Structure 1
Amino acid sequence: MTAVLFVTFLDTTVVSVALGDIRHELSTDVMLLQWVVNAYTLVFAGLMLAGGSFGDRWGRKRVMIAGLVIFCAGSVVAAVAASVPVLIAGRAIMGLGAAASEPGTLSVLRHIYPDERKRARALGVWAAVSGLALAAGPVLGGVLVHAYGWRSIFWFNLIIGAVALLAALWSVPESADPSPGPIDWAGILLGALFLGSVIYAATSGEDHGYTAPSVIALFVLGAIAFAGFVVVETRARAPMLDFRYLRLPAVRGALVVAFAVYFGVFSIFFFTALYLQVMQSYSGSRTATVFAPMAVAIIVGSLAAGAWVGRYGSRLAMIVGCVVGAVGILLTRQVLETAPPHDLPLASAMAVAGLGFGIAVVPLTSAVLSGVAAEHSGMAAAVTNTMRQVGSAVGVAVLGSLVNAYLTGDLRDKMNAEGLPAELQPNAIDAVERGRIPHGVDITPYLKYLSKVSEAINTGKTAFHHGLDIALLVSAILILVAAAYTAADGALSRKRDA
């Protein structure tokens, strides 16, 4: 199960260090690059609940194996992609496979380890592997890109996916709900429509603006789908998501923390990696070196939290993990104030964030698995991981909008100051974002402004850093708010019980 977990979580971040190379070879901009990341997380998040529901009914191992086959097929599509749209399609197929296979890695643990203390230690290993995969993504990706190019990442995914498939066939026991009830097709459709619409709207709003009619229509569609989802799930005989479990403060707080922590994780994994590569010209291997201590810290934090939760419960560990993670993000933000940043202080600050992330993941997972009945373990696993993936996808979308707003706004101000005509500015901004002049652009009108090119590039670097600075601050604040909510909700619950 940890092999399956590793491959699905690895792919959430392994592409981050390849974005610079993809941008140059396929000639795309920062906005479209986010879809290379979000295509995976969007489908992964949108169909995770369905994957958990199918596993409970049809057999968790059977659905896991089917998902791995789909994941491997998507890896091949991405590896041979000759254009960004094909690459995005391959990533979406991989997300579909991950949505089917990943919930089983948690739900089967619920049955192998019925004792809560032993399960907490097992979850420590589970969280350590998931954290290792997330943090090792940039490290392994950097090594592969440096040695063999960005396509090698997806061939590597195919190999490790095939190994995970064989491991699952050999070792994972089959389990299912003994009396599953009918499949909640309406809930599956409405849940996927809600999550897909909202995440897609949040991401496309960066391109078209959040007041664009198409974006507003997507948000409205998502709201209608959510309302329908709530109505269906409260009346269904065998709901995909039983809302009664959300009445438990521990489960409620854990899901809030899951969203916030993974929102923050991607402020570092995506935007810090992109800033270092695109704006500071870090190679893939150098980026990997900076991220390596963070991978180690996530493992240490997860294993320590497994023992902690087994002895003392989830709530305090969850809060401590959030606080440490937020402090690490703020330290990372502080180190990035120097340009270029110094590698050792940056790696150390990111390691603090990684330690907090590792500590937080185990208790939030344990709280949900322990609060939901064993026969619904697929539901528990799916809703936990859905909140993680939604947090990461929304994080990339919202923070990407912030970064891009500062980048384009500051560049436009600089070009206005230098006297570049307004009709020439879009292609000039596009050139700074892409790192090259877009195909088919007549450069003749720009020739007399070439002496200002270096100033425009420096403005782009400063603007990107300004956006990253705000993005990291927002992430840290959100995680601290989640910790405060969990503490307050728990205190109110204990007061009511008394």
Structure 2
Amino acid sequence: MLFVTFLDTTVVSVALGDIRHELSTDVMLLQWVVNAYTLVFAGLMLAGGSLGDRWGRKRVMIAGLVVFCAGSVLAATAATVPVLIAGRAVMGLGAAASEPGTLSVLRHIFPEERVRARALGVWAAVSGLALAAGPVLGGVLVHAYGWRSIFWFNLIIGAVALVAALWSVPESADPHPGPMDWAGIVLGAGFLGSAIYAAISGEDRGYSAPSVITLFVIAAVAFAGFVVVETRVRAPILDFRYLRLPAVRDALVVAFAVYFGVFSIFFFTALYLQVMQSYSAARTAGVFAPMAAGIILGSLAAGFWVSRRGARTPMIIGCLAGAAGLLLTRHELAGPLHDGPLATAMAVAGVGFGIAVVPLTSAVLSGVPAEHSGMAAAVTNTMRQVGSAVGVAVLGALVNSFLTSDLKNRMSELGLPGSLQPAAIDAVERGRIPKGVDTTPYLKYLSKVNDVLNTGKVAFHHGLDVALLVSAILILAAAAFTTVDAILHRDTPA
């Protein structure tokens, strides 16, 4: 269950080039293929955890897997990008219901903290394997059978997970759940959904567009209402008292920052290699494979580390190593590309990400009572998914702004009239001339096509370079925040 929901977060990354070519779409819509999943996943995760605590974690998990499989079928058979995006959204709904249960059941199966830390190491290794194996496995499938095969594969794995859950997962629930917090569910989903959707839409429409501003206002109002409701209801889906615990607070900050950075590699680096450097899906998979191994090794090592020394130190070390890996990856992408050094740099990032995930998960699960383990699991996974969704949105805005502005400047230098530039930029982003475009006015500029294409590569790299730098800085800031919090609360267990 854990493997399939995390796998789908990154498996699509190596299929983006093929999807772009077959369905003739641009970078903005490609981001929605990724973000439709993470947007719904993040927006409804708190609701999934709360429902699991009340209705039974196994029951909600099973229902989520059924929905996930249905979404996989819709995505696999999609003939247009909007249908593909809809299928990804349905898959996100299923993942939001099933994912919190994979963590919360560990809280009950392993009540002793040290044993649970080692179990969380295995959990994080599986999640890390799924995240990092996504590009590797996806590359093999896309190379052999085409991009639709990754969704058929998801269906098969989801069906296997469904059978395994029915057979092996014990049922558990809060013995005294209290009334359902429907207001909190609606307001929480409204806040997260509106904020993330606004961040993503702003890339295309501009952040000063009335529709985007309206979405941010709706998100702010929903958040205010959510805080009011959650501090007054008897059984909230998010008890804000737990955020006062330094270990829980630090873990959630790190979760956001780490997954923000993870997707600067998983989405934009994969897209850059495939679209701008013409890497095949199989070659992209080879570059990502050492990162998969790094995440697994880091997670397993962190499980033993946390069980003996606590969560705070490995969480900080993981952030430092992850940021170093991002900066090394940025350095390797700056010059002539060599797969070995690039894969090694990404492996360093993978080790750091793996080390960081275990302690942040352990800190939240240990800080929240067992009867609220669904809430703890949901809020942890929500912060991770919000980090990834915001990461793709914010970094996508950076990459797209550099791509557009650099292309416009170069086209102006080459003498291409401003009226012709939008269609030319669209052609560079799509990798083909859009349907219905009259190419006659462009014929006299054909000798300069290669110059424009090379400018597109340089511009995309410019944006990716800044994106990796921003990601590394954010992760380092999270490490600094955790360190300062540790100094200020020396007597608080971590």
Q: TM > 0.5 between the two?
A: yes
2:285 paired residue among 283, 288, 308? 288
- In structure 1, the residue matched to 2:453 is 457
Match of 1:436 among 432, 445, 450: 432
5 Å matches for 1:159-178? 159-178=156-175
For residue 475 of structure 1, the aligned residue among 471, 477, 481 is: 471
Q: Residues 39-58 of structure 1 correspond to what in structure 2 (within 5 A)?
A: 39-58=36-55
TM-superposed CA distance for 1:82, in Å, is 0.2
2-side partners of 1:390 and 1:496: how far apart?
A: 27
In structure 2, the partner of 1:229 is 226
User: Which residue of 129, 134, 139 corresponds with 1:137?
Assistant: 134
Q: Secondary structure at the match of 2:489?
A: helix
Q: CA deviation at 1:323?
A: 0.1
What's the offset of the Cα at 1:31? 0.6
Gaps spanning 5+ residues in structure 2: where?
A: none
Task: State the partner residue of 2:384.
Answer: 388
Alpha-carbon distance in structure 1 between the residues aligned to 2:198 and 2:35? 12
Cα deviation 1:445-495 (Å, max 9, x = unaligned): 000000000000000000000000000000000000000001101211127
Listed one character per residue, the Cα deviations across residues 253-295 of structure 1 (whole Å, up to 9, x for unaligned) are 0000000000000000000000000000000000000000000
TM-score normalized by the length of structure 2:
0.99
Report the equivalent of 2:364. Answer: 368
Identify the match of residue 249 of structure 1 among 238, 246, 251: 246
Match of 1:76 among 73, 77, 92: 73
The residue number in structure 2 matching 1:116 is: 113
Contact map agreement 2:246 2:492 (CA 8 A) in 1: no
- Secondary structure at the aligned position of 1:436 is classed as coil
CA distance in 1, matches of 2:446, 2:188: 52
Contact in 1 for aligned 2:65/2:162 (Cα 8 Å) = yes
1:62 pairs with 2:59: yes
1:352 equivalent in alignment to 2:373: no
Shift in CA distance, 34/496, structure 1 to aligned 2, threshold 3 Å: closer
Q: 4+ residue stretches of structure 1 with deviation over 2 A?
A: none
Instruction: Using the TM superposition, give the Cα deviation of residue 338 of structure 1 relative to its aligned residue in structure 2, in angstroms.
Output: 1.3
**Equivalent residue letter for 1:378:** G
Question: Partners in 1 of 2:71 and 2:135 — Cα distance?
Answer: 20
AA aligned to 1:490 is A
Alignment pair present for 1:271 and 2:259? no
Superposed, 1:397-408 pairs within 5 Å as 397-408=393-404
Q: Deviations over 1:422-447 (max 9, x none)?
A: 11110000000000000000000000
Q: CA deviation at 1:305?
A: 0.2
What do the CA deviations read for 1:135-186 (whole angstroms, capped 9, x no partner)?
A: 0000000000000000000000000000000000000000000010000000
* 2:25–2:81 contact (8 Å) kept in structure 1: yes
| SS of structure 2 residue aligned to 1:235 | coil
Q: CA deviation at 1:496?
A: 8.7
One-letter code aligned to 1:306: G
1:300 to 297, 300, 306: 297
Please give the alpha-carbon distance, in whole angstroms, between the structure 2 residues aligned to 1:429 and 1:246. 46
Structure 1 residue 299, shift from structure 2 partner: 0.3
Question: What's 1:187 paired with?
Answer: 184
For 2:140, give the aligned amino acid: V
Equivalent of 2:5 in 5, 8, 14: 8
| Percent of aligned pairs sharing the same letter | 83
**2:137 alignment partner AA:** L
Tell me the distance in 2 between the aligned counterparts of 1:496 and 1:194.
31
Query: Match of 2:412, as an amino acid?
Result: N
496 and 238 in structure 1: CA distance in 2 versus 1, 3 angstrom threshold: closer
Cα distance between partner residues in 2 of 1:496 and 1:156: 45
Corresponding residue number in structure 1 for 2:33? 36
Q: TM-score, normalised by structure 1?
A: 0.98
